[in-house]
Amino acid sequence: MSKFLDENGLLYFWGKIKTLAGGKVDKEAGKGLSTNDFTTAEKEKLTGLENYTLPAASADVLGGVKVGAGLAVNQGVLSATGGGTADSVDWANVQNKPDLALKSDLTSLYRYKGSVTNYASLPSSGNVTGDVWNVEATGMNYAWTGEDWDALGQSFEIQAISNGEIDEITAG
């Protein structure tokens, strides 16, 4: 069973968060939130990086990043060239791929036919692939595959989470 947090639950949960956050340590002006664990050498190295400049872009390097296959740098501008390599994309083949479904192919994929009282009442003949029936006893929907009934899913109840359940979640 799925549950959701309604307005009352949200107010209760927010109160729990505020209580839990009550023990936190506030940041003090002029201080960091952790100790300074850097060695003198590490601190000097980091201080020296304040004016750090990335290397100039070239045919092989783009601001410190190596340029890979199918890319080129010209006067600092990165371009995707495709380059006729194995990594390049043949868009003509991608767009004409025969096994891709179009939206128009999917609009008649499932056809809702109605409801029956139980699984045994699903029609055994005259079915077309994609016919869907609801079984009232379980709330499960079934689609005809051309050979058999395939369970698609069922209805379920959503309830608001209780304050007691929120207490259990926030206890640990």
Residue 49 DSSP symbol: G
Average pLDDT over residues 79-99: 59
Residue 55 has pLDDT above 80, yes or no: no
C-alpha to C-alpha distance for 172 and 157, rounded to whole angstroms: 28
Contact in structure between 77 and 61 (CB atoms under 8 Å): no
The tens digit of pLDDT for each residue in 121-168 reads: 999 999 999 899 999 998 899 999 889 999 988 777 788 888 888 888
Q: What is the pTM of this model?
A: 0.35
Percent of the chain whose predicted confidence (pLDDT) is above 70: 69
- Reported in sequence order, the residue ranges of 7-160 that DSSP labels E, i.e. its strands, are 61-62, 65-66, 71-74, 77-80, 111-116, 131-135, 140-144, 149-154, 158-160
Within the chain, how many helices (H) and strands (E) appear? 5, 10
Domains of the chain by residue range? 103-170
Is residue 112's pLDDT more than 70?
Answer: yes
